[in-house]
Structure formats: C-alpha cells, structure tokens
Chains A and B, each alone.
Chain A
Amino acid sequence: MSEDVKSPSVARATTNVARIGVLRLTDSAPAIVAHEFGFFADEGLDAKLSVEPSWANVADKLAHGALDAAVILPPLALAMALGLRGPTEPLIVPYCVSLGGNTITLRKDVATGLSRNAAGVVARLREIGAEATLGVVHDFSTHSLLLRYWLAAAGAIAERDYRLVVVPPARTVEALETARIVGFCAGAPWGEVARRAGAGSTVAHSDDVWQSAPEKCLAVRESFAAEAPDRMAGMLRALYRAAQFCDAPENSTYVAALLSRRRYVGVDSHAILSSLSGGPTGSNTSRFLKHAATFPWRSHALWFLAQMRRWGLISPDADLKAAARLYRPDLYAAALAPVGAPIPASDAKIEGEHREDWLLPASPAPIAMRADAFCDGALFDPASVA
C-alpha cells in the first residue's frame, strides 16, 4: 500500500489521527470504551481522546481545529452552527450518542415529597421567592431546555418565576451546600454524586420530562468529514461497537469501573453504575444503542431548535430548517448499514406520539422503540416548524 513512503510510522501518524473531545460524564462512555478497548484502532484510527473541563473548551477547540470531533450537547452544536458562539465553523452531526441520563436534583431540605411532582416543585420555588435559583450546565444545553419545559408545563417560567444560572457539574455539590442554588439539572453521574454527598435529592429524570429524550450527539468538523470520509465512518463504527458494549447490562460494572478512573470521570464507580443499564431498576439511565439511540433524527434537531426559539435563545427569524440540516442521517446510514446496523426508514418522526413500546420501520429489520411521550402530552410534528 504505502510501503514506498519513507517513514510509514510518521505517515500513519499524520493521516489516521482523529482527535475527539469528551467531558467528565457517563455518556462519554462509548467514546472512552472505543478508545480503551482498541475499537478505534480496529478501524485503523489513531484516536486521541481529550477530556475537556468545559463545553466552552470543546466549542473553541472544534471551531479552531484543535479537535476533529466531540461528544457534545446538541443545542450547543446547533448554536455554534447558527453563529451564536464564536466563529461559525461548519459542523455536522452524523451520529447521536445517548438517550436520557439527566437528573433534576434539588437541595435535600427542599426536595422532600417532590418526587416526579413538577407542580409541587413550582409551588416550592414560589415559596422560596425571587432568590429561587436553579443551575444548568450550559445556556445551550439539553438540561436547560428539559428543565424549562418541565417547569413551564407546571406554570413556572425561567427568569420570571425562578432564576437560571450556569454551574459546572463538578461544582454543583458546593453550590447546593453554600445555598447559591436550590437545585440543578445535569447529566449523570452528577445528580447521584450530589445525593451521595448528602447535598441533594433527585426529583425527576430526563424520562419524566420527555421519555427517550435525545441527549448527547457527535459533532464533527465538516472539513474533517469531507477530507477524511473513511476516517469519519470508522469513527462512527467504533462508537457503534462501543455502544453495543455499553448498553449491555452485563457490562455495566466494567464500564463504571473504567469511567471512574481519575483521567475520565473521576468519581466513585457506583455513582456511575447507577446511571447505566445494569444499575438499579427505576434509576436514571443513559441508553447508548437500543431504541435507535444512535440515529441522528432531524425531528430531534428541530425540537431543540424550536425550544431554543421558544425561550428566546435564538432569534425568531432564524431559519430552523436550514439549521437542522446539520444532522446527517445519510452519513450515518453510509457508515453503519455495511456493518448491519438497522437504518430507520425515515429521517424524522412525530415526537411524543407513543405512550407504549412500539416498532419503528427500519432496514433490514424493524427497531424496538420505547415510549416517547412528553410530560404535558404534547405532540411535536417536525413538518409544522416554520
């Protein structure tokens, strides 16, 4: 092949590198497993996994080319594409990483009797009054949108009935203890970490707001995808293989132990285990494979965009349909159909339609799906987005 190249090791180093950013979160699991178990290497990739301290770092490094791809919050990827954060580096989302996994966690003394009770939480926030402050991990986050949705369904609007501030997940325990916030919405394992520290108590999960809610996605620099389509397809295949591993309950203890390493999430493995499929039943769970968790639904992109517009995070005249083209189910199919992954027959679906398990038409075989209802019973038809 390239035997005539003088220094094959150098040539390999410069042509097969894929730099991937993740944060200290349970849903970094497939990327970490793919890296540690050599799944990227099996696809011929020299993957450099970089654990970043903040979403701002991930966004900057993607925008300036210090990362090729990252496990990221879909609203942040969309905000970057709309030019709301730094330079508009063209990104694509050819793959999604996880469904669910977030908790709404309140300070222990505030949370009593409020489990799955949005109306009760709203009443408690009203009692606390103007200084009732809740934390989310980023302005453009799934957490901000899910928390706003859940509380709005019970009548409370952010910045009118409660304050919303950004608190990094690793500082939430401290923020609860010093009473800077009365609660927060963050990804696993941070709700469980707060519970174990005796600071907080979880009152709701992603599922209580929107069943099977999409969580992290994989954003890739468009230039990387264009220059190295094979490398990108290999990256998706390695992540998909890791997702198969991470989603199997019998592997959860391995995954939790691996993620607990200081270089990754750096918290007790049991706090991580509780949000994996093999953790205690009924707990908050991140799903990595089943129920089409990895498919980049255009209807998910449009839902995020519609919610961002609802809360004034993007301008009313922004072209949402154009922004949603960031999601690339075509590239997903091109990379994963050859390895037998079922490919949904459609790129979008009506969200919120199913209160029970259902079957999604897909090729070569239909996909078993979970309920996808919203807490307020709403339906979201992507075709209705103007």
Chain B
Amino acid sequence: MSPRIILIDSDQRRANDLSRTLFEAGFLDVTLVDPRRVPIDSVAGLKPDLIVMDMSLPDRDALESVRSLATNARGPIVVFSNEDDPAFVAEAIAAGVSSYNLAGVSSRDMRLILASAIAIYRRQANVESELAAATAALAERRLIERAKAALMARRKLSEPQAYRWLRNKAMNESRKIAEVAASVVAEIDAEAKPAKQDPDAP
C-alpha cells in the first residue's frame, strides 16, 4: 500500500513537480492542497499518512493544532526532528520544507519523499535567482543598446565603434560596461530634460 501523502503548497507548479517525482518513485497516493482555497482543518479529514508543507505559509500553526487534536498526541511530530542527521534537517529548513509524520510511513520512504521535496524546493529557489540574474542581464543589455544608439547619433560612430568606445572607457576606468552605459544614458536624459522643468529631478 502506498502511503497517503498530502502536499500543502500555494505554488501549484512546484507541487505538481513534486507529485510527479513521487509518482515516478512509486508513491501513487498524492493529494495537492492549496491553503488559500481549502481551510487547513479539512486536511485531517483526508486521513493522510504524511504531510509535506511549504514552510513559508502562515498555516503551519493551524495544521499542527489540527494534527495534535486528530491523533490525541501530546504535540506535533515534525518528521525532520526525528531524523538523527542534523545536516539533513538543516537542509530541509533551508529549502523551506516541513513535514509531519502521522502514521506508519517507513523512515526510508520518508527520507526519500523529503529528499525529493528538498531538491524540488531548492531547484525552484535556484530558478528564481537565475531568473533575477537573467532579468538584470536583460536590463544591462538594454542600457548598452541605448548608450550605443546615442553615441552613434552624436559622435557619428558605427555600431562596432560605439561599442568599442564604451568598452575602452570601461577598461580605462575599471568599471563595468553597463555602468559606463548608464552614465552615458543619464547624461543624455539630463540634457533632454532641463532640471527646472522636471519636478522629479533630485
């Protein structure tokens, strides 16, 4: 019998990824719960064996209360606190995963399920930082394009010449090309808008 697993996550895509991973590993009974739509008390009615939850949700306190009522235990059992491997626990906390062992899921299975969750939560964090880096790179690129266009118009340079001008200035002043481009663009903007007519000018 496959243990009944509930994933509580308001990030639908991440929850889907994790349930697919678990499915492929042979855990067939996985239910997704979005805490913004479903009151957390109702989770107990689904009689799960294991709950895996996004730690950044405010609903953990409610879940722990329901759990301790449902099983009449003295307090919630946080799975990773029963693990004797502190590094694994630290990893789960850092990745933002918490989990509750409610019934008889073997510790081997649990570790596997949690390890998948940690990997997927961490991957998403990486994807987000990659996205931020890509957005920043795109913004820099736009800045350089604008600076090049301005230099081409004002100094009658070709595109490669304008780029070389920026690059040489950056090298001479040991700044990044994007920084040089930003100051070129700022200069042009300042000329285009005389300060006294610009209420937002510093």
Decide: A66 and B90 in contact? CB cutoff 8 A: yes
**Which residue of the partner chain, among A86, A167, A170, contacts B81 with CB atoms under 8 Å?**
A86
Smallest CB–CB gap between A19 and chain B, Å?
12
At the interface, yes or no: B119 with Cβ under 8 Å from chain A? Answer: no
Residue of B nearest to A84 (CB): B75
Interchain CA distance A64-B62 in the complex, whole Å = 21
Smallest CB–CB gap between B72 and chain A, Å?
11
Name the B residues within 8 Å of A54 (CB-CB): 55, 57-61
Decide: B65 and A171 in contact? CB cutoff 8 A: no
Interchain CA distance A84-B62 in the complex, whole Å = 16
Name the B residues within 8 Å of A128 (CB-CB): none
Name the B residues within 8 Å of A180 (CB-CB): 39
Name the B residues within 8 Å of A345 (CB-CB): none
Q: Interface residues of B: mostly helix, strand, loop or mixed?
A: helix
Give the residues from 45 to 62 in chain A that come closer than 8 angstroms, CB to CB, to chain B.
53-57, 60-61
Name the A residues within 8 Å of B76 (CB-CB): 56, 85-86
At the interface, yes or no: A166 with Cβ under 8 Å from chain B? Answer: yes
Decide: A165 and B65 in contact? CB cutoff 8 A: yes
Summed over the interface, the residue pairs from A and B with CB atoms below 8 Å come to a total of: 78
Contact flags B78-105 to A (C-beta < 8 A → 1, else 0): 1011000010011001100010000000
Given A139-B64, A166-B61: A60 and B98 interface contact (C-beta under 8 Å): yes
At the interface, yes or no: A8 with Cβ under 8 Å from chain B? Answer: no
Decide: B57 and A87 in contact? CB cutoff 8 A: no
At the interface, yes or no: A63 with Cβ under 8 Å from chain B? Answer: yes
Name the A residues within 8 Å of B59 (CB-CB): 54, 168, 171
Give the residues from 122 to 173 in chain A that come closer than 8 angstroms, CB to CB, to chain B.
137-139, 165-171
Name the B residues within 8 Å of A209 (CB-CB): none
At the interface, yes or no: A34 with Cβ under 8 Å from chain B? Answer: no
Name the B residues within 8 Å of A57 (CB-CB): 55, 60, 98
Give the residues from 77 to 98 in chain A that come closer than 8 angstroms, CB to CB, to chain B.
79, 84-87
Interchain CA distance A315-B74 in the complex, whole Å = 9
Interchain CA distance A170-B57 in the complex, whole Å = 11
Decide: B75 and A60 in contact? CB cutoff 8 A: no
Give the residues from 126 to 179 in chain B that come closer than 8 angstroms, CB to CB, to chain A.
none
Name the A residues within 8 Å of B68 (CB-CB): 139
Interchain CA distance A139-B89 in the complex, whole Å = 24
Name the A residues within 8 Å of B39 (CB-CB): 180
Interchain CA distance A168-B86 in the complex, whole Å = 29
Name the A residues within 8 Å of B56 (CB-CB): 53
Given A53-B56, A85-B75, A165-B41: A60 and B81 interface contact (C-beta under 8 Å): yes
Name the B residues within 8 Å of A79 (CB-CB): 75
Interchain CA distance A65-B80 in the complex, whole Å = 13
**Which residue of the partner chain, among B57, B60, B65, B81, contacts A64 with CB atoms under 8 Å?**
B81
Decide: A166 and B62 in contact? CB cutoff 8 A: yes
Contact flags B20-44 to A (C-beta < 8 A → 1, else 0): 0000000000000000000101000
Interchain CA distance A87-B93 in the complex, whole Å = 15
Name the A residues within 8 Å of B62 (CB-CB): 165-168
Smallest CB–CB gap between A14 and chain B, Å?
17
Name the A residues within 8 Å of B66 (CB-CB): 166
Decide: A86 and B65 in contact? CB cutoff 8 A: no
Interchain CA distance A84-B65 in the complex, whole Å = 12
Name the B residues within 8 Å of A61 (CB-CB): 93
Decide: A84 and B74 in contact? CB cutoff 8 A: yes
Decide: B86 and A53 in contact? CB cutoff 8 A: no
Name the A residues within 8 Å of B94 (CB-CB): 66
Name the A residues within 8 Å of B93 (CB-CB): 60-61, 64, 66
Interchain CA distance A54-B78 in the complex, whole Å = 14
Among B56, B60, B66, B81, max chain A CB count under 10 A is at B60
Name the A residues within 8 Å of B80 (CB-CB): 64
Name the B residues within 8 Å of A66 (CB-CB): 90, 93-94
Decide: B89 and A56 in contact? CB cutoff 8 A: no
Smallest CB–CB gap between B180 and chain A, Å?
29
Smallest CB–CB gap between A81 and chain B, Å?
12
Smallest CB–CB gap between A365 and chain B, Å?
41
Decide: A170 and B58 in contact? CB cutoff 8 A: yes
Interchain CA distance A280-B150 in the complex, whole Å = 57
Given A79-B75, A85-B76, A86-B78: A64 and B61 interface contact (C-beta under 8 Å): no
The 13 listed contacts between A and B (C-beta, < 8 Å) are A53-B58, A54-B60, A56-B60, A56-B76, A63-B81, A64-B81, A66-B93, A85-B75, A87-B81, A139-B68, A165-B65, A166-B66, A168-B61
B residues sitting closer than 8 Å to A (CB atoms) are: 39, 41, 55-66, 68, 74-78, 80-81, 86, 89-90, 93-94, 98
The 8 closest A-B pairs by CB, nearest first: A166-B65, A168-B58, A56-B60, A54-B60, A166-B62, A84-B75, A86-B81, A53-B58
Q: A64-B86, A66-B93, A166-B66 given; name 10 further pairs at CB < 8 Å.
A: A53-B56, A56-B60, A61-B93, A66-B90, A139-B64, A139-B65, A166-B62, A167-B62, A170-B58, A180-B39
A residues sitting closer than 8 Å to B (CB atoms) are: 53-57, 60-61, 63-66, 79, 84-87, 137-139, 165-171, 180, 315
